[in-house]
Every structure is written in structure tokens, then in C-alpha cells.
Homo-oligomer: A and B are copies of this chain.
Amino acid sequence: MKQEEIIAYSAKNGFVWGPEPEIYGGKSGFYTFGPLGKLLKNNVENVIREAFVRNGFFEVECPTVMPEEVWKASGHLDGFRDPIIKCSKCSSTFRTDKLIEELYPDVSGDSMTEDEQLSFIEEKGIKCLSCKGKLTPKIESHELMMRTTIGVDEAAYNRPETATTTYLPWIKYFDFFRSKLPIKVFQIGKAYRNEISPRQNVVRGREFTQAEGQIFILPEQEMDFPEFEKVKDEKLPLWHHSFNDVKEMTLGDAIEKNILKKPAYAWCLWLGMHIFDSMGIPRERMRYRQHHPDKMAHYADDAWDLEVKLNSFSWTECLGVHDRTDFDLKTHSKFSGKDLVASLEGGKKVTPHILEIAFGSDRPTFALVDIFLENSKEHGSNVLKIPARMAPIHAAVFPIVKKDGLQEIAHGIWQELLKEGLVAVYDESGSIGKRYRRMDEKGTPFCITVDYDTKEKGTVTIRERDSMKQERVRLEDIASKIKEKMR
């Protein structure tokens, strides 16, 4: 389906509402996850959490507001900015690189210097997109962090990423984990980027939820990483900067051919894709693409992005794996004056390196709707064919008619399913066909109908969303049957 249709579906069905606050006009980049959206986002976050925990990571929760000195040290205060230009007449503001690229799709505004951008704008006589007024001949620097205040007057910022806040308690980690490296931690939480005009629903929010895992590791451990053995035969679709396309390749091969340099880093690529596999994103819609070495951050030893092919926005970056070397702990050592090292046996002090798996839960949540939404003639409605284990609502319970005690039986089943930890709803209004369509549209994989056989024989029908097939099941087996089908 098309972008507008997907976003309209999502709003109508309680996935994503906004921009919020809608009743006050709405501000770009802020959204509410409605009842179905939040259930789905929780499922996504539970998959992330479970994958990290099973692989030895411990979760932490650091503040989302941190004082200015942290962002001075991290480089965000000086570097996390966009070039903007204003209209001299209506004061509309545009990001210069995007303005150029919107009008001249073949030109890469992003790779020009600010002076080059300004010359290009003047040369082409680019005007304000809103009022056709003259643009002021000056590029300003727009801070992408949201500034705030702690106490009476201490400058602080809503964090632009979780990562920096995760690095800072290094001394505490080293103590808590009893000085044994590698140390694996992760954080799932809010971050903020004050972009000038975000326009891609929750794929590009000004407020978003990040999920980032960090491995603090010694250089020799990056090369000798026992967990790598278990995944070295796994095939991943890799697009190295030296190729012209994606190649399916085992991680063992990739290391051998020097496509990937470090087993520990290769394992992070595996874990990132394993998480997206576990969410149910189809493999054929995923690929890993390496950042071109010329475009990598100066301290980065390697960086690959996991891209997911969306129906609405095509290939979209959904996860990055970064080899950040010892840059972060060295930088924060310098700025804080604290010794952020690992004291090893024998008294040797080493600054650990950081391998990072950086992503978030908003994009996969959007992706699951985008990918699995179908307009089905057979069903006579939109159907969200999301894998059952990820569905916002697992089951709906219907009495076939509103009499003869069928409502009470259906009500009892509904309550029982809730007790079993399933997300279930009860619906008695409209024809059964209409109720099925309502649930197909919401992606509910199982509909349970209570009819006269339920009273007589103690059975109900369970109807499956995708096949539309019905099966009779005994009352006492409903929950276990559904759980079995969800696996």
C-alpha cells in the first residue's frame, strides 16, 4: 500500500495519532501511540529486551536530561546542528541541504559546504517555498538538541541519543560486573532531535524511543570472541563499500575475506539482524550496508547500517552497528578529569573499546504495519497480516447472538484469556462477518465464536485471520491452542 494509505490506516485504527497535540493544531514530529500502536510497540520492545538479556546484556536507565558539559564533551553541543536559511518575508525556515535536494533531486546538497550551498541557492535564484519571497543571504546554524534548564539557571539538554548517557557510568559498571570484560549493557528510552520540519510520521520524530546496546571490550577480546563461534555459519546480506550490490555471505566468510575485521563486531551484526528476524521483519526486506570509509566518523573503525525496505519510504535505515574504538571513554576521561579505564590484573590500565548496536522501537513498529498491511479482496477489508506473536490483540471473543446465555459464556472466555496473559477483546455488535472484518483490519489473528454448540457440546470455533479457516476447539483448550498457534 501507499504511504498516505498506510498512515491513514494507522491513524484510523489506533496505531499512531498526530502530529500531537492535535486539538491544539499539532507540532510536526510528535505523535501518540494509540491503544494498538502501543501494544505493538511494547511487543517490539519486549523482543529487543529478551534478545539482549538472553545474550548477556543488562539493561540500565539513565537520565534523559543531562547538563551542558556532557554534550560539550560528546561533541553534540558544537556539532549536532543543521544549516538553515530563512525567508526574509514570511520567516519560514528551511534546511539548506534538503531545500536544494527537493528542488534539484540530482544534486547532493548534503555533500556541499555551507558556502557552496549558499552560492548554489543564490545562483539558482531559489525562493521561499511558502511565499516565493527572497531568502536571506545567510546560512544559520540550527541546534538540533532541545535546550532546557536545571535548577535556577544551569543549562541542560534533552538527550539527543541514549548512547552518551549509557557510557558515563563506566566506573560503576566495572565495579558491578566485578572487573570482568566484556561488559554488555543496553538502554531503551526516549531521545530528542529538534529537526526543522520532520515529515515522515514516527519514522522521523522529534521525540523517539531508542534502543542501544553497548559492549565494553578489550581490543584482544574483539578478535577472540567465543560467542562468534555459534554464529559464524549464519548468512547475512552484506553490502560492503567495495561491492556494487548485496552479497549473501556467512559471517565466517566475511571475516576470512576481510569484509569484516573483528569477530566481536561481526557478532553484533548478527545480533542486530537476529532482533529484526525475531520481530518478524522478512529477510528479503533487509540488508546491511557499510558506510563508505570516507563518510565514517573520524574515530570509527567500522560502521554498517541495517536497512529495511518499507512500502512507504523504500530502503530505510533501521539499525547501525558502530565500532567506536576507545574514543568515547577517552573523551569523557579528558573532559571529566576521571580515569575511565579498566584496571586489569597485574595493575595494567586500559581504556575499553565500545561496540554499539544502535536502533529504536518506533521504526520497527512502523515497519510492521507498513509491511504487513494488505488490502484484501478476499477479506473485503484491509488486513494486517502481522505474525501472530507480534499482533497487538491476540484474540477476540464473540457470542453469535445476544441471547440464551451465549453472551455470558463469551464474557467468561474473554476474562479467562486475559487471565492467561493474552490481550483479548469482547465484541457482540454487528454480524459475525462484520466482526471478523473489524478484527482482520486490526490484525487480530484469532476470533473465537460462541454458538449453540458451545452450550451443547462445550466447543467454540477459532477462526484464523489469514486463512479465514475455522476450527472447533473444546472450551478448556482455547488458551493453550492459541498460545500454540502463536509460537
Contacts and interface: CB of A to CB of B under 8 A. Distances in A.
Interface string A22-39: 111001101111110111
Interface string A5-46: 000000001100110111110011011111101110110000
Contacts of A429: 178
A121 interface: no
Contacts of A421: 50
Give the most central of A22, A169, A207: most B CB within 10 Å. A169
Given A148-B146, A423-B53, A169 B67 contact: no
B148 A158 contact: yes
Given A59-B42, A93-B151, A93-B152, A168 B65 contact: no
B34 A169 contact: yes
Nearest to A146: B148
B168 A23 contact: yes
Interface string A51-70: 00110001111111111011
Interface string A297-309: 0000000000000
A192 interface: yes
A345 to B, nearest CB: 13
A192 B152 CA distance: 15
A7 to B, nearest CB: 15
Contacts of A336: 23-24
Nearest to A21: B168
Interface of A: 13-14, 17-18, 20-24, 27-28, 30-35, 37-39, 41-42, 49-50, 53-54, 58-67, 69-70, 84, 93, 142, 146-152, 154, 156, 158, 165, 168-169, 171-172, 176, 178, 185, 190, 192, 194, 196-197, 206-207, 332, 335-336, 338, 340, 418-419, 421, 423, 429
Given A65-B206, A152-B196, 17 more contacts: A14-B176, A17-B169, A27-B151, A32-B60, A34-B169, A38-B59, A38-B60, A38-B61, A41-B61, A42-B59, A53-B423, A54-B419, A63-B207, A65-B207, A146-B148, A151-B197, A190-B190
